[in-house]
Amino acid sequence: MREISASDLAAWLAQPDAPVVLDVREPWEVAIASLPGSLHIPMREIPARFGELPPGRPVVCLCHHGMRSAQVGLFLERQQVAGVCNLTGGIDAWSRSVDPAVPTY
């Protein structure tokens, strides 16, 4: 699975072929800090709900620091989901290097 930095994700989100950002954190975490337009499916619900991902679009998995999202990314790859990436450093890296208006926790 490919890793992507927060700054590279920011640039990619500005392109017409932008990926789906899959936020796998818990609802309380998303309430604190989130990326607008991301799809929120908590990690524990992924096996039952990964079919909600839009077909044919790359997916960037996101969590707090990148560990849970890496596990979800590996699961998605095993399910034959193409174009899966993991956001290195998670929402924390996004807050620190792309958008300081997104709270850290």
Dihedral, CA of residue 62, residue 63, residue 64 and residue 68, to nearest 10: -130
Catalytic residue, from 6, 21, 63, 72: name it.
63
Q: How many secondary structure helices (H) and strands (E) does the chain include?
A: 5, 5
| CA R_g for the chain | 12
User: Would residue 63 show up in a list of annotated catalytic residues for this protein?
Assistant: yes
Give catalytic residue positions: 63
